[in-house]
């Protein structure tokens, strides 16, 4: 979780350390990303259980715990799908740009680069903050962190680096937005009833 805050305030220095260590994706998943996602979702779930969610008439809608658990499980599965599928798509695009990188490097780039999105799950449980505002703030901060992450961690050629960065933004935006959309639909009872 500390790394997520470091990514927000000084991403370039953190990415240099990450690229230097070149850890395997399992290490990043189990010791960095998964605890961040689970901890942030737990705080969001607590907020939903305690305070509810704001409605248009300034009232709060409260959910029973079964729906909250379904929502949190869906969000966790959606976030993991976003990371694994996104890393695969980013690897395919990177290879089409003739960049020599591994699936583990693309996974680490997405997992650590998207940490602001995962971190913004926690304030999403506060009733006065709308869910898409929290996701949008996280996505905006992720755009900033990926700028350095793609260049330092994937090491594309200088002429192809910006294109790979733009593609990584689209991958993160689409897949994380899709995961968030499906989760919100589950919370409101429109899916997985």
Report how many domains make up the chain: 1
Distance, C-alpha 22 to centroid of its chain: 20
Of the pLDDT bands very low, low, confident and very high (cuts 50, 70, 90), residue 60 is low
Tens of pLDDT, residue by residue over 121-162, are 989 888 778 889 999 999 999 999 999 889 888 888 888 889
Is 168 a member of any domain? yes
Can you read off the two tokens belonging to residue 31? 């010791």
Look at 6-15, 19-28, 162-171 and tell me which has the smallest mean pLDDT.
Answer: 6-15
Which residue range forms the structural domain that includes residue 99?
Answer: 2-52+75-187
Tens of pLDDT, residue by residue over 169-181, are 999 999 999 999 9
Cα distance between residue 169 and residue 139, in whole Å: 9
Of the pLDDT bands very low, low, confident and very high (cuts 50, 70, 90), residue 92 is very high
Name the phi and psi angles at 132, rounded to 5. -75, -25
Cα distance between residue 22 and residue 105, in whole Å: 8
Is 156 a member of any domain? yes
Is 81 a member of any domain? yes
Is 147 a member of any domain? yes
Note the pTM of the prediction, 2 decimals. Answer: 0.88
């Amino acid at each position: 979780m500390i790394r997520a805050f470091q990514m927000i305030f000084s991403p370039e220095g953190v990415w240099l350390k990450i690229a230097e260590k070149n850890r395997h994706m399992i290490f990043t998943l189990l010791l960095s990303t998964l605890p961040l996602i689970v901890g942030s979702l737990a705080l969001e779930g607590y907020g939903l259980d305690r305070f509810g969610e704001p409605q248009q008439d300034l009232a709060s809608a409260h959910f029973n715990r079964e729906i909250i658990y379904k929502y949190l499980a869906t969000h966790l599965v959606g976030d993991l799908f976003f990371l694994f599928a996104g890393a695969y798509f980013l690897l395919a695009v990177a290879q089409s740009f003739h960049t020599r990188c591994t699936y583990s490097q693309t996974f680490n780039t997405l997992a650590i680069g998207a940490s602001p999105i995962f971190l913004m799950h926690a304030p999403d449980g506060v009733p006065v903050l709308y869910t898409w505002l929290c996701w949008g703030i996280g996505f905006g901060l992720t755009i900033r962190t990926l700028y350095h992450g793609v260049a330092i961690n994937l090491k594309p050629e200088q002429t192809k680096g910006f294109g790979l960065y733009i593609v990584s933004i689209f991958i993160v935006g689409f897949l994380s937005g899709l995961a968030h959309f499906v989760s919100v639909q589950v919370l409101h009872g429109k899916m997985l009833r």
